């Protein structure tokens, strides 16, 4: 029997560049199954300029900017929005600070090893974890460049045993060898070299631009006029600072614009 990590790597490599979102869903499904997690998510985090030094920004400019849940719920979406708003306002929790303490290096943690024991008595824990019936979490964080990191989280819900160090290591080993994949996922959300994150329609257009479809065919797929489609294409190329589809494709092949890390 093939090792599940190697099998996942091969499966992800078979997805076309235009199917990054499908590949992400596949990765979340396979990894959640590997460690018997009831839910999983991917989170794209970028480092912005902190407002006025670390004393006023304990997470040093790191901000969540995109998320994908394996099994999304209204409570999960509300939690993400509230966390993002709090981070933008400089209101951060011990767990958020702990996450960025080792920014820039690959890392994997069980929730209980990331925070202090007293954290489990805080209002944040009660409202953000217990209220969502989350009993335990494994976090894996993969740096993509000095200002962008790809987070994966795996949830055990009430009634299930805590994650073990072996299960933490299983997902960590699987994700450690996939830097090219983390990079493509971040690119597909406009979180690596784009000037601003892509909205839902722009993400659809990017995926279509990575196929052989013409602009007219892209317009037909989207159900918009050719002029509207051209406007989206032009805006996306400007965001990624490339002159055409060949330049956009080159980004997916690992060629970053000059001066980008």
Q: What is the secondary structure of the chain as a DSSP string? A: ---HHHHHHHHHHTS-GGGHHHHHHHHHHHHHHHTT-SEEEEEEEEEPPPSSSTTT-TTTTEEEEEEEESS--HHHHHHHHHHHHHHHTT---HHHHHHHTTTTS-EEEEHHHHS-GGGGGSHHHHHHTGGGTEEEEEEEEEEEETTEEEEEEEEEETTSPPPPHHHHHHHHHHHHT-HHHHHHHHHHTT-SSSSS---HHHHHHHHHHTSS--HHHHHHHHTS-HHHHHHHHHHHHHHTT-SSHHHHHHHHTT-PPTT--
Residues 114 and 99: their CA atoms lie apart, in Å, by 8
- pLDDT tens over the chain, length 261 residues: 678 899 999 999 999 888 999 999 999 999 999 999 999 999 999 988 655 555 578 888 898 999 999 999 999 999 999 988 888 887 888 999 999 999 999 999 999 999 999 999 999 999 999 999 999 999 999 999 888 999 999 999 999 999 999 999 999 999 999 999 999 999 998 887 756 778 889 888 988 988 889 999 999 999 999 999 999 999 888 888 888 888 888 877 765 544 443
Residues 203 and 20: their CA atoms lie apart, in Å, by 10
Residues 144 and 104: their CA atoms lie apart, in Å, by 8
Give the N- to C-terminal CA distance of the chain in Å, as an integer: 39
Q: Are 43 and 182 in contact (CB under 8 A)?
A: no
Length of the chain: 261
Sign of CA dihedral 113, 118, 123, 127: positive
Beta partners for residue 13, in sequence order? none
What confidence tens digit (pLDDT) does each residue in 11-23 have?
999 998 889 999 9
What is the reported pTM?
0.84
Q: Average pLDDT, whole number, for the chain?
A: 89
Instruction: Look at residue 259 in the predicted model and tell me its pLDDT.
Output: 42
162-163-168 Cα angle (round to 5): 165
What confidence tens digit (pLDDT) does each residue in 221-236 have?
999 999 999 999 998 8
Q: Which domains does the chain have, with CATH numbers?
A: 4-188 (3.30.450.80), 200-252 (1.10.10.10)
Instruction: Look at residue 51 in the predicted model and tell me its pLDDT.
Output: 54
Q: Are 157 and 119 in contact (CB under 8 A)?
A: no
Q: How far is residue 154 from each of residues 118, 120, 164, measured CA to CA in Å?
A: 22, 18, 12
Residues 6 or more apart whose Cβ sits within 8 Å of residue 112: 136, 162
């Amino acid at each position: 029997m093939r090792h599940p990590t190697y099998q996942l790597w091969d499966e992800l490599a078979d997805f076309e560049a235009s199917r990054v979102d499908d590949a992400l869903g596949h990765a979340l499904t396979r990894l959640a199954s590997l460690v018997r997690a009831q839910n999983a998510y991917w989170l794209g985090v970028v480092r912005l300029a902190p407002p006025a030094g670390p004393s006023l920004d304990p997470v040093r400019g790191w901000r969540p900017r995109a998320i994908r849940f394996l099994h999304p719920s209204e409570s999960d979406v509300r939690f993400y929005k509230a966390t993002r708003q709090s981070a933008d306002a400089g209101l951060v929790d011990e767990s958020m600070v702990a996450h960025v303490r080792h920014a820039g290096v690959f890392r994997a943690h069980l929730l209980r090893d990331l925070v202090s024991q007293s954290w489990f008595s805080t209002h944040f824990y009660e409202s953000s974890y217990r209220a969502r019936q989350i009993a335990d979490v494994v976090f894996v964080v993969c740096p993509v460049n000095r200002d962008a990191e790809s987070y994966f989280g795996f949830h055990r819900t009430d009634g299930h045993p805590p994650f073990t160090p072996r299960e933490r290591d299983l997902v960590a080993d699987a994700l450690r060898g996939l830097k090219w994949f983390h990079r493509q996922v971040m690119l597909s959300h406009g979180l690596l070299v784009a000037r601003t994150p892509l909205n839902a329609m722009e993400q659809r257009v990017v995926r279509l631009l990575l196929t052989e479809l013409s602009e007219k065919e892209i317009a037909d797929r989207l159900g918009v006029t050719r002029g509207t489609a051209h406007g989206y294409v032009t805006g996306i190329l400007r965001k990624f600072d490339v002159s055409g589809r060949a330049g956009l494709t080159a980004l997916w092949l690992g060629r970053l614009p000059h001066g980008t890390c």
